[in-house]
Amino acid sequence: MKKILAIVLALALVLGFAGCAKNKNTTETTTSAPADTGNALKIVCTIFPQYDFVRAITKGVKGVELKMLLAPGDESHSYSATLEDISAIDSADLFIYVGGESDAWVAEVLKTASPKKAIALVDLVKTLEESDDGILAAEEEEEEEEGAADEHVWTSLNNAIAITESLKDTICELDADNAETYKANAQAYEKQIADIDAQFTAFFAGVKNKTIVIADRNPFRYFCEEYGIKAIAAFSGCSSNNEIPLAVQNELIKAIKDNNLKYVYVIELNSSNYADSIAAQTGAQKLVLNSCHNLSKADFENGKTYVDMMLENYKTLSASMA
């Protein structure tokens, strides 16, 4: 308890009590025992992709306490850790974050909080450098970091498989008694992901113009790379910017017209009106693509998965780009 208190005090200074009034994050416990008996395998995830992979891997295993720090429905790029979150990270057996610029706060937290094991998704797969290709808005000076890795590694289905496999190995090490279940679960989930990848591969092999226009951020660098899609977007993947300047709106409109596109895309949970205005000016229809950073509270409670969201992307893209 003393240790927790020291951590809380240290981090209160670091984080300036950011968001400490919030207490909305979610814990899913598959044990009937109280949450802090100390026997549960405690796994804490920052955002949805790794939460989803771990939920699939640990399905049906009693005594796994899985927590997602980001509250469903919230914008992941403006998340800040609460004192309760930090205490959960400290007492976790496994803490899984993304790594990269949105998780700059993690390094600070891990100076004092000490989960048994901490894993960054960007360390599990080959990363691509952030790129300005197809990004229309100039980024703020402070956001530019030369050579930084694009952190949205999970948007590639093949990366999702590799990440699930790697997380499964770690979870098996932490809880060898249930290794057989974890292995079977991971294998089944990886098969579902591979099936969607096969559908995308087959579909895009027959698409001539693989240009899409996103009136939003573009966190799909890894996804686009897999299938040769050329994305033109307002902002880079993790931009905190969400007001599209008029000049950029006009460039998006031009890109839609030049490429003869009938659709304009936005990312899930986007509430801005820019895409509607661009759609109205071009006659294009607005469609939603799931980046899978997070999902609505209702979808979360209904158990919607990464696979469900990628299948929605498949339906959307195969209907709109055929």
DSSP string, 64-105: EEEEESSPTTS-GGG----HHHHHHHHT-SEEEE--SGGGHH
Alpha-carbon gap, residue 182 to 260, rounded angstroms:
47
Q: Rank residues 182 and 220 by Cβ distance to Zn ion and give the closer one.
A: 220
CB of 239 to Zn ion, least distance (A): 9
Tell me the torsion sign for CA atoms 282, 316, 55, 153. Answer: negative
Alpha-carbon gap, residue 40 to 277, rounded angstroms:
50
Q: Using CB positions, name the residue nearest to Zn ion.
A: 238
Q: Rank residues 160 and 186 by Cβ distance to Zn ion and give the closer one.
A: 160
CB of 132 to Zn ion, least distance (A): 16
Angle at CA of residue 120, ends 118 and 124, nearest 5°: 120
CB of 102 to Zn ion, least distance (A): 6
CB of 259 to Zn ion, least distance (A): 25
HSE (side-chain half, CA atoms, 13 Å) at 236: 20
Q: Rank residues 92 and 238 by Cβ distance to Zn ion and give the closer one.
A: 238
**Residue 62 pairs with which residues in a beta bridge?**
none
Q: Rank residues 101 and 308 by Cβ distance to Zn ion and give the closer one.
A: 101
Cβ burial of 176 (10 Å; 0-12, 13-18, 19+) is exposed
Q: Rank residues 115 and 219 by Cβ distance to Zn ion and give the closer one.
A: 219
Alpha-carbon gap, residue 19 to 183, rounded angstroms:
37
Alpha-carbon gap, residue 83 to 13, rounded angstroms:
11
Q: Rank residues 168 and 293 by Cβ distance to Zn ion and give the closer one.
A: 293
CB of 237 to Zn ion, least distance (A): 5
CB of 168 to Zn ion, least distance (A): 24
CB of 171 to Zn ion, least distance (A): 25
CB-based contact 232:252 (threshold 8 Å): yes
CB-based contact 258:240 (threshold 8 Å): no
Q: Rank residues 238 and 253 by Cβ distance to Zn ion and give the closer one.
A: 238
Binding residues vs Zn ion (CB under 5 A): 219, 238
